[in-house]
Amino acid sequence: MSNTKVFVFAPADKEGKTYKMLEDLGCVLAFGKASWETPQGDNETQMTLMARDADALIGTSIRSTPITSKVMGGSKDLRIVAKYTIGVDDVDVDAATELGILVTHAPVESNWGGVAEGTVAMMLAILKKTREKTETMKVGRWRDEVLASIYVGSRASDGYPGITIGIVGLGRVGGRFADLLRPWNVRILAYDPYIPKSKFKAHGAQAVDDLSVLLRESDVVSLHPILNKETRHMIGAAELALMKPSAVLINTSRGPVVDEKALVDALEKGAIKAAALDVFEEEPLPAGNPLRQLGNKVLLSPHMVASEAGGSGLGLGIQWATDSVISALKGEVPEHVFNKEAIPKWLERFSGKSLLE
């Protein structure tokens, strides 16, 4: 029997099929607590103990304690940290790379595509005043000029230019969002210093090299970057001050991309018109958070913009992550490696060295 150890730091496979798959290959599994998915508490010490001598870590998002260098350092033979989700902001990727550990994620189309569709829905709900019209009808009122909405696309009939939509981060989600907007004949600006210029053209977006230009010119700013040291609080008081008073900010990426206190202040003072948020700096959103008191200036969603009945969820992501762990334990580079720069060092350590029966 193999002594190969897999630490499931945040279990999510309710049926246990992937766990049995690993066990059938001779792996010994250690399971973290489901409560670790929530933001409360600090479980780093306990997680480090459980990760000791592990060959692989696997799980869903874990907010109480990220996968730190201390957690990963509990095993000199750790090969992989495999996420069931597309996001890896709860893993110290830099530390993993330095240690020669691969980090994989699960960019399942139903999830990133769902985020893009949800972003469109949130944008339209604000621009078309869907909530306000419903509330008016429910109290017995009828048509009112204040309920007039914004026409998004350009019109050939009268020369109306349409609005400008700025996309920050033109990866999978931002790219799909741009693709969904193309039939509207809307002007799309995009800022992403990490992708080739050809990709902007492929998505019908005009590249801007300076974020401030996008913020000044856009009527809607939609955020889709990954969360890292560079993008944390990339939208703060100074950036919000550049936006139009009539502008709308949408964040369906990660909460800490936006300085929430600065956003509340901007909304209260009318520096921007509205915000649509699926993600927050602290999740679940505390009962006393001032965002809850801003009425229709905010559209709030409980970090589930990509959750659709029968079409999304972690199902495929769980299998992808499990397949990645199996590949790594066989001494093979798996698919969906996030920190590709770690591969050369990883190959030196583990290439062709199988731990499976």
Do residues 99 and 130 both lie within one domain? no
- 300 pLDDT above the threshold of 70: yes
Indicate whether 96 and 211 sit together in one domain. no
How many C-beta atoms surround the C-beta of residue 313 within 10 A? 18
pLDDT tens for each residue of 100-141: 999 999 999 988 999 999 999 999 999 999 999 999 999 999
Answer yes or no: is pLDDT of 1 > 50: no
Residue 103's H or E segment, with its range, is: strand 102-104
pLDDT at 313 over 70: no
Please identify every residue annotated as catalytic: 254, 283, 303
The CATH number linked to 37 is: 3.40.50.720
Residue 35, pLDDT above cutoff 90: no
Phi/psi of residue 110, each to 5°? -60, -30
- For the chain, the average pLDDT equals 94
Tell me how many domains the chain contains. 2
**Could you tell me if 184 and 295 lie in one domain?**
yes
Given a cut of 90, whether residue 66 has pLDDT beyond it is: no
CB 225 within 8 A of CB 258: no
| Shared domain check, 97 and 151 | no
CA distance 276 to 118: 11
* Same domain membership, residue 267 and residue 123: yes
Q: Is the pTM of this model over 0.85?
A: yes
Residues 273 and 333 in one domain: no
> Terminus-to-terminus CA distance in the chain, angstroms?
8
| 243 shares a domain with 133 | yes
Within this chain, do residues 155 and 80 fall inside the same structural domain, yes or no?
no
Are 118 and 57 in the same domain?
no
Closest CA to 96 of 352, 339, 355: 339
Cis peptide before 196 (omega within 30 of 0): no
Range of the domain at 330: 5-108+313-350
Residues 6+ apart with CB under 8 A from 353: 331
| Average pLDDT of the residues in 45-71 | 92
Give the number of other Cβ atoms within 10 Å of residue 327's Cβ. 19
Is 19 part of a structural domain of the chain?
Answer: yes
Q: Is residue 119 domain-shared with residue 144, that is, in the same domain?
A: yes
Question: Considering the domain boundaries, does residue 50 fall inside one?
Answer: yes
CA 33 to chain centre: 23
Same domain, 20 and 101: yes
